[in-house]
Amino acid sequence: MYGSFILLVQAAVYLVAMAGIFRVRRTIGIGVFYCILGAMHFLETYLAAVFFIELPFGLISPGSTVMFTGKLAFFLLLYIKEDAESMRQPVYGLLYGNVLMVVLALILRFYGDPATLPGYNPDLRFLDQMGLLMLWGTFLLYIDLLAIVILYERLGVWVTRTLLGRIFLSLALVLSFDQLSFFMGLHLISGVPVSALWGGWIAKMGASAFFSLALGLYLRVCERSEPRDPPQAVADIFDRLTYRHRYEQLVARFGKDPLTGAEDRGQLEAKGPAMLQAALAIGRPASLMMIDIDHFKAINDRHGHPEGDRVIQAVAGTIGRAKRAEDQLFRYGGEEFVLLCAEAQPGALILAERIRRAVEDERHEGLERQVTVSIGIAAFPIDGRDFGTLLRQADAALYVAKARGRNRSLCAGELRSAERTASGRVRPS
């Protein structure tokens, strides 16, 4: 009975201390929370290997029952309130630190005659055992975290949508696996008896219930804000627990216009010349369109810049739906867009007209007139053999299209034909 009381007191102290640090993580930094977990990792493993309390149902280790269960519960809380990227960072740190500890201890074996101290001498064999146990425990912790996140998300679909039920079942199932797996290493390295397996499992189920109730109360009282949207598929969850998710997120954001989601001008300047080089190498046609929203200044002046931004977003979305998957859309600046497509002039003009009509057909609440676009088209290589020339030719065609009344598409080739016709009609006096 006294042993159970000691475990309960230890669990309560652990809970209050860790919850307090977690509560102020945005003030003092999440790194403090990580450091506390790392500082207790050695004590947790040491107690799990050598310190046991005998209860009627078996041997119980405070390190395994209280500290490890509590650590896993707070990792789950970190996932619920933050994200899986934050949750996995300390695990990589612990694993790397444990490997480094084992390597450094092995190096010391080359010095075989350490100084003798009264009453205490180094025990490298014990350090080796602890290092192996900590490596094994940290490896299992990584697997535990993968499993607990997947279970937490999937249980919300399969079994129960209650927060408390999901937390408890996730902890209980993962701790059952961990108890069996860690005991195998503990038994092989330290010779711990089998009674510690059953006793530890029963105690961990009780600890799961205790920490589940505590986390449920914490989330209800201390942090009532809605957690971020969870990933919906197991593959999404796994990606979030690896570096891949953050890397792909960074790649997806780089080079994007934040207002419209189209690629930005920097991407145009990089991809435009590359597209022309590829077209020249394989003899494929290519065209560039300059697309400009008509009377956009009047929209800003009459309705304000927020409404102007909304119109730009809507037009970008309409162009994105009207273009083909292989066409590339860029925001050139302000209300102007550039579209690159693998088409000769006739095909590019057909695509431009489809885009122009799609924008014209779109309705915008609160505006007294339709939103339309004018489009200038330049074809490679007949209108220009380098990207800069092609861009200038498309811009010139756009300028003429707007001068002729707007809401129209015009090819640079048409301008040259018109100029040649006009010059042919001139007769010297």
Q: What is the CATH number of the domain that holds 341?
A: 3.30.70.270
Confidence of residue 288 (pLDDT cuts 50, 70, 90): very high
Whether residue 381 has a cis bond before it, omega within 30° of 0: yes
> What sections of 191-295 are H helices per DSSP?
195-221, 234-240, 243-253, 265-282
pLDDT at 316: 96
* Domain limit, last residue, from 249, 281, 313: 249
Instruction: Specify whether 151 is located in the same domain as 300.
Output: no
- Cα distances (angstroms) measured from residue 121 to each of 116, 126, 147, 239: 6, 12, 42, 47
What gap in Å lies between CA 362 and CA 68, rounded to an integer? 59
Q: Do the domain assignments include residue 155?
A: yes
Q: Among 74-88, 140-154, 236-250, 306-320, where is mean pLDDT lowest? A: 236-250
Amino acid in the structure at residue 31: G
Helices 387-403 and 265-282, packing angle to 10 deg: 110
pLDDT at 419: 63
Q: Do the domain assignments include residue 269?
A: yes
CB of 359 closer than 8 Å to CB of 319:
yes
Q: Do the domain assignments include residue 117?
A: no
pLDDT at 270: 86
Instruction: Specify whether 355 is located in the same domain as 395.
Output: yes
Is the model's pLDDT at 247 over the cut of 50?
no
pLDDT at 177: 93
Confidence of residue 297 (pLDDT cuts 50, 70, 90): very high
Is the model's pLDDT at 428 over the cut of 80?
no
What gap in Å lies between CA 169 and CA 157, rounded to an integer? 13
Query: In the structure encoding, which two tokens stand for residue 315, read together?
Result: 């037009």
pLDDT at 85: 67
Q: Quote the domain boundaries for residue 406.
A: 257-424
Say which DSSP state 63 is in.
I
* Domain limit, last residue, from 187, 217, 249: 249
Pairing of strands 373-380, 286-293: antiparallel
Q: What radius of gyration, in Å, describes the C-alpha atoms of the chain?
A: 33
Q: Do the domain assignments include residue 429?
A: no
Strand order from edge to edge, sheet including 328-333: 328-333, 336-341, 286-293, 373-380, 409-411
Instruction: Specify whether 396 is located in the same domain as 326.
Output: yes
What gap in Å lies between CA 51 and CA 43, rounded to an integer? 10
Q: Which of 120-124, 253-257, 342-346 has the highest mean pLDDT?
A: 342-346
Instruction: Specify whether 245 is located in the same domain as 293.
Output: no
pLDDT digits (tens, 9 = 90+) for 74-94: 988 888 887 666 777 788 888
Query: In the structure encoding, which two tokens stand for residue 41, read together?
Result: 């990792």
pLDDT at 180: 92
Nearest Cα neighbor of 211 from 67, 40, 387 is 67
pLDDT digits (tens, 9 = 90+) for 93-107: 888 888 888 788 788
pLDDT at 128: 76
pLDDT at 1: 66
Q: Tell me whether residue 60 is exposed, middle or buried, using C-beta atoms within 10 angstroms of its C-beta: 0 to 12, 13 to 18, 19 or more.
A: buried
Terminal-to-terminal C-alpha distance of the chain: 120
φ and ψ at residue 409, rounded to 5 degrees: -110, 140
Task: Count up the domains in the chain and report the number.
Answer: 2
pLDDT digits (tens, 9 = 90+) for 207-225: 999 999 999 999 888 886 5
pLDDT digits (tens, 9 = 90+) for 224-240: 654 444 445 555 555 55
Instruction: Specify whether 301 is located in the same domain as 359.
Output: yes
Instruction: Specify whether 309 is located in the same domain as 398.
Output: yes
* Domain limit, last residue, from 231, 249, 267: 249
pLDDT at 283: 87
Is the model's pLDDT at 30 over the cut of 80?
yes
Q: What percent of the chain has a predicted confidence (pLDDT) above 90?
A: 39
Query: In the structure encoding, which two tokens stand for residue 182, read together?
Result: 């860690």
Amino acid in the structure at residue 120: Y
Query: In the structure encoding, which two tokens stand for residue 358, read together?
Result: 């799609």
Confidence of residue 308 (pLDDT cuts 50, 70, 90): very high
pLDDT digits (tens, 9 = 90+) for 382-413: 999 899 999 999 999 999 999 999 999 999 98
pLDDT at 429: 28
Q: Do the domain assignments include residue 348?
A: yes
Q: Among 116-125, 177-186, 239-248, 345-354, where is mean pLDDT lowest? A: 239-248
Is the model's pLDDT at 379 over the cut of 50?
yes
Instruction: Specify whether 239 is located in the same domain as 284.
Output: no
Q: Do the domain assignments include residue 116?
A: no
pLDDT at 224: 66
Averaged confidence pLDDT in the chain = 84
Instruction: Specify whether 228 is located in the same domain as 368.
Output: no
Is the model's pLDDT at 154 over the cut of 90?
no
Q: Do the domain assignments include residue 115?
A: no
- The SS3 assignment for 292 reads strand
Instruction: Specify whether 222 is located in the same domain as 266.
Output: no
Q: Do the domain assignments include residue 114?
A: no
Higher pLDDT pick, 199 / 416: 199
Instruction: Specify whether 233 is located in the same domain as 280.
Output: no
Confidence of residue 153 (pLDDT cuts 50, 70, 90): confident
> What sections of 222-361 are H helices per DSSP?
234-240, 243-253, 265-282, 296-303, 305-322, 345-361
225 Cβ neighbours under 8 A, 6+ residues apart: none
Q: Which of 10-14, 126-130, 182-186 has the highest mean pLDDT?
A: 10-14
pLDDT at 104: 84
Say which DSSP state 147 is in.
H
- pTM score, two decimals? 0.55
Nearest Cα neighbor of 401 from 374, 380, 420 is 374
pLDDT digits (tens, 9 = 90+) for 32-70: 988 888 888 888 888 887 888 888 888 888 888 899 999
Instruction: Specify whether 267 is located in the same domain as 149.
Output: no
Instruction: Specify whether 147 is located in the same domain as 265.
Output: no
